[in-house]
Amino acid sequence: MLFYGVLALPWRRCLARALSAVALALLLPAASLAVEGKGEALVLATGVGMPYTSTDGKAGFADLLVREMFRRIGREARVVRLPQARALANANAGIEDGDVGRAPGIEAEYPNLRRVPESILRMQLVAWVTRPEIKVRGLEDFKTYAVGYVIGLKYYERNLKDASEVTRVRRPEQLFQLLAAGRIDVALHERWEAAHIVGRDGFRARSLEPGVGSADVYMYLHQRHEVLVPQVARALADMKADGAYQRIYDRTLRPLEHR
C-alpha cells in the first residue's frame, strides 16, 4: 500500500495538471472572443449619401468624422447608408449601432437611442426651385405650393402639416426628378447633399437664400453603447478644438458652398 501511495501521488498530480491544461485550452478561444467583442467595429447608419458618406465609406464628411472620433477612443466605426426612415428604425432596434446626424428630441419616439451631446453639424435646410417667380422665406410660405421632401426627415414631418400639397419620396434623387418634371414646386432638403446631387446630375435648380431653417444634428448610439456616449462626445469636442474637425469640413463640404 505504501509503495502504491508513493507512486500514485505524482501520477495523480500529473493527471490533474494535464486535465487543467486541456480545460484552459478549451476556455482560451472563448476568452479571446470576449476580448475581441469589445473591439468590434461599430456600424452607424445614415440616411444621406455624398458628400456625407461614400459607397466605399472613405470619402464623405460622416465617414471621415466618425472614423476619427472612434479612433480617438480606441474603437473602430464605419458608416452605412440606408433610406432615412430605415436608418433610424434600424438604429433604434439595434440592427445598426447608432445613427449619424439627427435633430435632438427623436429619443421621445425612438427610446432605445442615446444622444451624443456634441453637435456633429449645424444642418442648413434649403428650398430648391426651378421657377423664378417662387419666393419662399419660411415654412409658412409653403401653404400655396406643392412641396416635396424625403421620408424620415423629422424636421419637415413636424413643420409641414399646413402645406397645401406634400409629396414624400424615399431618396433625394427622386425629389429632384419630380422638381425637374414640374410635379412639385419646391424641393426641400439639406443643403450639402442637395448641392451635390444638383451638380452631379445636372439638374437646373437653384436654392432660395437664406434657407428655411437650420438645426444642430447629433450622433445617436443604441443604448447598449451608452457607456461610450461621454467618450465620443469628448473626442468630437477635442477634434473641434485641435482643428481636425475643420480639416474634414474643408475637404468634404466647403467645395459645395458656392454651388
Domain tally for the chain?
2
Tell me, yes or no, whether 128 and 211 share the same domain: yes
**Are residues 108 and 88 in contact, defined by beta-carbon separation less than 8 angstroms?**
no
- Cα(159)–Cα(147) distance, rounded to whole angstroms? 12
Assess if residue 3 is contained within a domain: no
Q: Considering the entire predicted model, what is its pTM?
A: 0.73
Tell me, yes or no, whether 58 and 133 share the same domain: no
CATH code, 81:
3.40.190.10
pLDDT in single tens digits along all 259 residues of the chain: 332 333 333 444 444 444 444 343 344 333 333 332 356 899 999 988 899 988 888 889 999 999 999 999 999 999 999 988 899 999 999 999 999 988 888 899 999 999 999 999 998 888 899 998 888 777 777 778 889 988 877 777 777 776 778 899 988 899 999 999 999 999 998 888 888 888 888 888 888 887 777 889 999 999 999 999 999 999 999 999 999 999 999 999 988 875 5
Tell me, yes or no, whether 158 and 102 share the same domain: no
Tell me, yes or no, whether 191 and 251 share the same domain: no
Residue with cell 477612443: 73
Assess if residue 236 is contained within a domain: yes
Q: Of 167, 124, 126, whose CA–CA distance to 145 is shortest?
A: 167
Tell me, yes or no, whether 140 and 250 share the same domain: no
Assess if residue 25 is contained within a domain: no
Tell me, letter by letter, the H, E, C secondary structure of the chain. Answer: CHHHHHHHHHHHHHHHHHHHHHHHHHHHHHHHHHHHHHCCCEEEEECCCCCCCCCCCCCCHHHHHHHHHHHCCCCCEEEEECCHHHHHHHHHHCCCCEEEEECCCHHHCCCCEEECCCCCEEEEEEEEECCCCCCCCCHHHHHHCEEEEECCCHHHHHHCCCCCEEEEECCHHHHHHHHHCCCCCEEEEEHHHHHHHHHHHCCCCEEEEEEEEEEEEEEEEEHHHHHHHHHHHHHHHHHHHHCHHHHHHHHHCHHHCCC
Tell me, yes or no, whether 166 and 42 share the same domain: no
Tell me, yes or no, whether 128 and 205 share the same domain: yes
Tell me, yes or no, whether 194 and 251 share the same domain: no
Tell me, yes or no, whether 226 and 116 share the same domain: yes
Assess if residue 31 is contained within a domain: no
Assess if residue 7 is contained within a domain: no
Assess if residue 238 is contained within a domain: yes
Tell me, yes or no, whether 113 and 230 share the same domain: yes
Assess if residue 231 is contained within a domain: yes
**Are residues 246 and 252 in contact, defined by beta-carbon separation less than 8 angstroms?**
no
- Cα(160)–Cα(143) distance, rounded to whole angstroms? 9
Assess if residue 111 is contained within a domain: yes
Which domain range does residue 140 map to?
Answer: 123-215
Tell me, yes or no, whether 47 and 108 share the same domain: yes
Tell me, yes or no, whether 42 and 115 share the same domain: yes
